[in-house]
Structure 1
């Protein structure tokens, strides 16, 4: 291992081309925020935009705003903006519902596109809601569908002619491991299977090119790297080549071809609009658009380059400063295999993270033993990385992590 001397991180911050973006976020003083992969920071523009919607559009214009301010267009308009971040064509992406609900819709649609095949293929370390949704869908269909779980390195070999859908999270939430999207998608296509990608830990953090990879369906989160706020709406993407065949399991009124005709029988809308279900959450959509607009002003190539530098540096600093304290880095060290996070295992991970948070260094914990640190290049500076590791070193050396209050389990970890 190469021993590092403290680098001139302030110099890196001074020449950082993304540094001006930090001023577009309302970050609290004295806090080092390493959890933007779980909840993005607040864009400064959001409060004013939401206030405008509340006071002027809702408060003054009331229900006329559905037409006057074109509220009904928001799911598609913001969807197309997100589409520019994920390699989608216009009209392929819509925003609404949660990631879990969109996953249910997408997975059910994918299974219907592959009648006669009964295997939904995934990995045991996929995000639990993805696995739960798949289990629930299989039970609901009661047609012999099976959720088959194999280890990540065995995914490609497990894509056989039994598989209807390969359902994977592009960047694993617990380790930061990133799949080769193009390779997996090509393997699935050769086997006659579809691929459903969960982009919750990818969109806005790493380059994604769904159409370039030949992907079929995808879902993603609005409140992580897109900075849409807690519980922000998620998105659903379906490749245009499937629009004429895909059927949605939730046929709500806004997915109808003519919602305000109030017809008794359902007729699906054309394109991705059939993925809509209920009335759009206008306040949440307005907040999300502010976060998405910031990402569109930045370069995803510069975001990725800075993310890789920061995550590699953070891992090196932990190895340099925390040797002998029982930490093990579980995230891939290869740039092409790592998302925008560094995950570190420790047998006392939970109280250590609580002690860090108490000292103003905010990451999160994932059971059973993972301290998770996310890198959000638009507002995270290089100097903060050294400061965060230094605080971690102090709480390990003085054992302040072992105080009783840090062991008390909160509802959210």
Structure 2
């Protein structure tokens, strides 16, 4: 990577945007017409050597660690398959078969947490002209990538119960942000250090929607003997529409992160440090909706249609991702985005359930066979954390 080191003529640090011309990397203090002079280090992930200019006896350093990467949003779960009718065609003219229930929607995936900000430290220390300082700028934590394949729904059926949708999995956390520091080469000791921020945690995947019962079954897809009437019912179970599938639960969000680092002030340095700032937590995924019950059939009554198909449930919405932590405001402003934690990705929507099968009659085969449940949608990836930054000033 190309090293980026700038030594600038500037006014006071709090005076606003810098609009000064650049000087050679190892400029003499006498060349600084305006005070203080400053050197900026922005190349992340490698060491840079700084030689103290002639006439300089004191340096004040401002050090920001890199932010942690945001986690990836979890995938929504698959929807449940629609129930069948347990019969392909009815021979007797006086039987209209019950319809299958609708499959339930899968739960939405949870949003991921935002990454933590980098730490911050500042310190003033004595130097001598020609002294070598090693500067390291932390690299922002990697963003967690989103999955590339959705979660499959359950298979529908023409003559039995629908299959449940598959549960989704957690895609992955973001990466740790790197710390930034200044080292005295000759003394082989750290002078000022700021920790990198911790990663954002991923959210939990949604739970699959349940498959629907086929027609002519008892509650909860348990078959019962024909002509067995449940209490208060006028229809035997073998003419009862299939129950709809139970909804899939939404993914669970991860707890907000704890403080993950701070800074270090070396011996002989007069300074202070601040801890990293956690990102906010993502939101949990919404549950899917339950499937609808299939229509009841009939016995001994001509002209009535077969039981209608149970309506499918819809998949739950994915949770929104959390935002990355912001570097603590100390009055000294780094460039935009420095040390910021990456944002968490949003969770994916759960798959819709499959519609149930329509009941058969002697003149009609069971049509609209139970449909397959829909595929759960993948969540979005997080964003990378901001790189660290080091600023040296002297008069």
TM-score range, shorter chain: under 0.3
If asked which structure has higher relative contact order (CA below 8 Å, sep 6+), I would say 2
> More helix per residue: 1 or 2?
1
**Which has the higher Rg, Structure 1 or Structure 2?**
2
TM superposition score normalised by structure 2: 0.17
TM-score scaled by structure 1? 0.16
Give the structure with the higher percent strand: 2
